[in-house]
Amino acid sequence: MRIDIITCLPKLLDSFFGHSILKRAQEKGIAEVVVHDLRDYTQFKHRQVDDYSYGGSAGMVLMVEPIDRCISTLKNEREYDAVIYMTPDGKTFDQQTANRFSLFKNIIILCGHYKGVDERARQALITHEISIGDYVLSGGELAAAIVSDALIRLIPGVLSDETSALTDSFQDSLLAPAVYTRPADYKGMIVPEILLSGNEKEIEKWRFENALQRTKERRPDLYDKFTRENDPDAK
Ligand code: ADE
């Protein structure tokens, strides 16, 4: 998968993609993340990419022209499956969307800034508008990093234990069960005995029941959804 991220703050993303799993995925050639500075695509003086909002509301708006020039340059080089704009008024990102997007070969992610981007850029160039939650960040860079991380870790070969992405919280609408490592007894806090038993079938059963219980306590909305979807009597 190749992810092209367009931003006016490219340095903000360097360190994020230069570490851990994301770095390894790029070294293995499984994923490629290319960050583009929107200012390289403007024809205005002082590398200007934003301007005042028509009608006079507060805040600056990213201009359509440099966005168009950048996206058009990329589209001339290869085909893209999606051009995503990170914005708080987009569709809320979730695991299902991550699963779907992780199958894409090439995507562009545009980071907004200031008061957003000119509506014409959204209408003419963007295929998906994505929010990471109901709060407003000062730019789309962190949101783009979060979405990229969620997609890249799903690509086969990125995680060392291939099954672990499948057992994440949310993959089957349940939160993940509790996990433990050594020691088995820490200051009198004991690891559930079944996990030490070696009985895979019983361990699987314990994990499922623990996941169910945790979801019921912490996310009753997800629990209701899970029980509805798994009710054999439901239509
Ligand atoms: N840009 C600013 N806030 C955002 C959010 N919540 N999600 C995605 N992009 C954003």
pLDDT tens digit sequence for 77-122: 999 999 999 999 999 999 999 999 999 999 999 999 878 999 999 9
Q: What is the pLDDT of residue 172?
A: 80
Atom 4, ligand 1: residue with shortest CA distance: 88
Pocket test for ligand 1, best of 136, 142, 147 (most atoms within 8 A of CB): 136
- Residue 54's SS3 state is coil
Domain boundaries, the chain: 2-152, 169-230
Q: What is the pLDDT of residue 115?
A: 85
The Cα–Cα gap between 172 and 144 comes to 24
Token duo for residue 137: 């960040």
Going from the Cα of 17 to the center of ligand 1, the distance in angstroms, rounded, reads: 19
pLDDT tens digit sequence for 215-230: 999 999 999 999 999 9
Identify whether the C-beta of residue 87 lies closer than 8 Å to the C-beta of residue 116: yes
pLDDT tens digit sequence for 39-78: 999 999 899 999 999 999 878 999 999 999 999 999 999 9
pLDDT tens digit sequence for 179-218: 999 999 999 999 999 999 999 999 999 999 999 999 999 9
Pocket test for ligand 1, best of 61, 87, 89, 135 (most atoms within 8 A of CB): 87
Identify whether the C-beta of residue 64 lies closer than 8 Å to the C-beta of residue 118: yes
Average pLDDT over residues 157-183: 85
Atom of ligand 1 nearest to the CA of 136: 3
pLDDT exceeds cutoff 80 at 146: yes
Name the residue with higher pLDDT: 232 or 84: 84
Domain 169-230, CATH class in plain words: mainly alpha
Average pLDDT over residues 141-165: 89
Atom of ligand 1 nearest to the CA of 134: 6
Domain 2-152, CATH class in plain words: alpha beta
As a whole number, the mean pLDDT across the chain is 94
Going from the Cα of 37 to the center of ligand 1, the distance in angstroms, rounded, reads: 19
Q: What is the pLDDT of residue 175?
A: 95
Going from the Cα of 115 to the center of ligand 1, the distance in angstroms, rounded, reads: 11
- Which residues line the pocket of ligand 1, CB cutoff 6 A? 86-88, 112, 131-133, 135-137, 140, 143
Going from the Cα of 55 to the center of ligand 1, the distance in angstroms, rounded, reads: 24
Going from the Cα of 29 to the center of ligand 1, the distance in angstroms, rounded, reads: 29
From the list 98, 60, 84, the residue with the least C-alpha distance to 140 is 84
Q: What is the pLDDT of residue 160?
A: 79
| Radius of gyration for the alpha carbons in the chain, expressed in angstroms and rounded | 22
Token duo for residue 188: 């009198």
